[in-house]
């Protein structure tokens, strides 16, 4: 198990240590929607109504290029067509593949629930500018400074052991209970769908669930 100290040490290394989204075989298919609904120690930050007919849970890593592709291409249309219209409830859950991704999620969680999606969207959108550079920690600090983080707040967030443990608890439960082994992995009303889905692929799944 990687400690918080090791995380901070690794953040200073070249981003060559970052693992990209893996394409490992799925070990399990559908899971219980009731089990999926159990939230981690930080709670879920959901978009869309609680009584939506369709719930999408995405397990992602901030340093996963496939996740960034999904959030650049599919996410805007999914949000506009289905989340903003109240048809779908969406939850992004933490599945960091490396210490740098853990740090990204910690920073997203550190500034309150209202900032979670704006910060994760920013980090996905700018992924190549911080995740794959020689000094990723410096790049992250500069990026989050524009989002209102002081250096003190930035450093305090990454030293928060409780937050570090909570992020990893979400990942560990997904690995152990739901057999998540790659990112992104989506659970749509309990149905497992790994990989960066296009909006067309998503619609083929969710439209029958919505009765459309």
H-state helical runs in the chain: 4-11, 33-36, 65-73, 75-78, 99-109, 116-125, 127-130, 136-146, 151-158, 161-178, 199-210
> For the chain, how long is the longest CA-to-CA vector?
51
- pTM, two decimal places: 0.86
pLDDT digits (tens, 9 = 90+) for 9-65: 545 433 333 333 333 333 346 888 889 999 999 999 999 999 999 999 999 999 999
Q: Which two tokens stand for residue 204?
A: 């083929």
pLDDT at 191: 95
Sheet strands side by side (includes 191-194) = 46-47, 88-94, 54-60, 185-188, 191-194
Residues 160, 109 contacting (CB under 8 angstroms) = no
Q: Using CA atoms, how far apart are residues 154 and 140, in angstroms rounded to an integer?
A: 9
CATH 2.40.50.100 fits 33-210, yes or no: no
pLDDT at 61: 98
pLDDT digits (tens, 9 = 90+) for 157-204: 999 999 999 999 999 999 999 999 999 999 999 999 999 999 999 999
195: left (phi over 0), alpha (psi -120 to 50) or beta: left
Average pLDDT over residues 80-109: 97
Delimit the domains of the chain by residue range: 33-210
pLDDT at 30: 85
- Comparing CA positions, the residue from 164, 81, 72 lying closest to residue 123 is 72
């Amino acid at each position: 198990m990687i400690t918080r100290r090791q995380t901070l040490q690794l953040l200073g290394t070249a981003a060559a240590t970052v693992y990209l989204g893996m394409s490992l075989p799925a070990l399990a298919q559908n899971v219980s929607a009731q089990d999926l609904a159990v939230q981690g120690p930080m709670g879920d930050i959901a978009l869309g109504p609680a009584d939506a007919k369709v719930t999408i849970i995405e397990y992602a890593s901030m340093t996963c290029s496939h996740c960034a592709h999904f959030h650049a291409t599919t996410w805007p249309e999914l949000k506009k067509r289905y989340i903003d219209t109240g048809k779908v409830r969406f939850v992004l859950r933490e599945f960091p593949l490396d210490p740098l991704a853990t740090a990204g999620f910690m920073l997203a969680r550190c500034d309150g629930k209202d900032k979670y999606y704006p910060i994760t969207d920013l980090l996905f959108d700018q992924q190549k500018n911080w995740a794959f550079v020689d000094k990723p920690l410096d790049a992250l600090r500069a990026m989050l400074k524009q989002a209102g983080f002081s250096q003190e707040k930035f450093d305090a967030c990454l030293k928060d052991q409780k937050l570090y443990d909570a992020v990893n608890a979400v990942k560990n439960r997904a690995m152990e209970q739901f057999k998540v082994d790659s990112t992104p992995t989506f659970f749509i009303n309990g149905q497992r769908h790994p990989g960066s889905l296009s909006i067309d692929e998503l619609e083929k799944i969710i439209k029958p669930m919505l009765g459309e």
